[in-house]
Chain A
Amino acid sequence: MGDAIVVTSGKGGVGKTTTSANVGTALALLGKKVCMVDTDIGLRNLDVVMGLENRIVYDLVDVAEGRCRLQQALVKDKRFEELYMLPAAQTKDKHDVTPEQVRDIVLELKKEFDYVIIDCPAGIEQGFRNAVAGADHAIVVTTPENAAVRDADRVIGLLEQSQITAKLIINRIRPAMLKTGDMLEIDEVCQVLAIDLLGIVPDDEKVIKSANAGEPTVMDPSSRAAIAYRNIARRILGDMVPLMPLDEKSAGMFKRFRKFLGIG
């Protein structure tokens, strides 16, 4: 029996879909059998980020309403043998499925996959309830801004009510802004939200670039965000991985060279 993890945030635009795509792909990279489920019915975009848009035949609503079998709706990834995606419908809306239907689908998927990553829509209404219905754990994504942290807090409260343990990913960290004190500190965010930190992801232009190309960032090991997502995937598997240092880049070539020589 696999593990169902819902990726949620409350606030929109903090990187739920990016996180789902990258964590899912990173887990597949580590040899796990993974299925990603997009529950953002009506505004689906996990398929776009994964570059699988043109392979969709059936979707989540079709499965829920019995128009096709679950296996038929699963879209196989073009890079990994053991990575699948269940897309959301684009022509319906959140009220066209019930939490019970999603829970049944997720339960079915858990039998076959090691990890089921559920991409949750923004908000805390029907779409959120659908996404959370079948989840065992949750990843709460936030950015270091007050508005996102406030919404994350709200969502953590709702998850706790449904007895789902949540872990935190702080996304889009700008080391330069942290240094000048213009951004909320990581410790501050953790302290406010009072849940375990699963990882931090630095802001990286490559994320946007690769998302546009339909290629998850994790595939590019030169990207700092990719390393962060790989670390997160390893932590999900239970490895102890230290948080990545944020100011590595600013250390400069010279210092790195000295480090290489062993005198830095």
Chain B
Amino acid sequence: MTDKQHITIKGVKEGLVFILDDRCEFSALLDELHYKLEKTHQQLLTGPLMHVNVKLGSRETTDEEKEQIKSVLRQQGNLLIQSIQSDAELQSQTEANQQELKVMTGIIRSGQVITHDGSLLLLGDLHPGGSIICTGDIYVMGTLAGMAHAGSEGRTDVIIAASLLKPTQLRIAEVISRPPEEWLTGDAAMEYAFLQEGAMQVDKTTQLFRMRREPLVYKGV
């Protein structure tokens, strides 16, 4: 056994929390886990059913490695694994869900190009000949008359929304669409473009929640 402790076991109201060090070899972790469960903490870990939460710190683990941790814990009979969490995962999850939204003000005129890694909110107009290229969503509070490319690095779940959607061209991921040949709607006000089965669709922004399926929280009476 190494002299340094890699695993800290804490008792909390809900059960036990295993905090695994994120800067050592994964095999060392498994060894120590075995050792602790079988030798040093045996008396603690026998008895009534216990809920267990495992925290991996910022270690990035594969599903296989998680399964290894689970199987070691399962040998102990009275431990119920509730979760195995890693900060790295949490972070990448939130990044994917809500990539940093950049807010910018101004008029993007012909010949001007705005590129952004993430989502962009433009307070102003995008003129014909101007372009916005983003890896995430594009929202324009104003007239979108130029070229907008959302999901420029391949994301297909992104949208392009504008107060007035009158683009010369829209692109989402690899799909290129030209109005009015491919779609044409009424007044072009408060609309958004999205991909559905690989084809560009445009709908009223009020319909966006159906696509996003985000939990709605209503407060007040």
Contacts and interface: CB of A to CB of B under 8 A. Distances in A.
B102 to A, nearest CB: 20
Contact of B128 (A153, A156, A158, A194): A153
17 contacts: A150-B110, A150-B128, A150-B129, A153-B109, A153-B110, A153-B128, A153-B129, A154-B109, A154-B110, A156-B109, A157-B107, A157-B110, A157-B111, A158-B111, A160-B109, A192-B127, A194-B125
A156 B111 CA distance: 10
Interface in B100-158: 107, 109-112, 125, 127-130
Interface string A121-152: 00000000000000000000000000000110
Given A153-B127, A157-B107, 20 more contacts: A150-B110, A150-B128, A150-B129, A151-B110, A153-B109, A153-B110, A153-B128, A153-B129, A154-B110, A154-B129, A157-B109, A157-B110, A157-B111, A157-B112, A157-B130, A158-B111, A160-B109, A192-B127, A194-B107, A194-B125
Secondary structure dominating the interface of A: helix
Secondary structure dominating the interface of B: loop
Contacts of A154: 109-111, 129
Interface of B: 107, 109-112, 125, 127-130
A154 B112 CA distance: 8
Interface residues of A, number: 10
A157 B111 CA distance: 8
A153 B109 CA distance: 6
Nearest to A10: B110
Contacts of A150: 110, 128-129
Most chain B CB neighbours (cut-off 10 Å) among A151, A153, A156, A160: A153
A153 B129 CA distance: 9
A158 B128 CA distance: 15
Nearest to B108: A157
A150 B111 CA distance: 10
B127 to A, nearest CB: 5
A153 B168 CA distance: 15
Contacts of A160: 109
Nearest to B111: A154
A151 B110 CA distance: 8
Contacts of A192: 127
B17 to A, nearest CB: 56
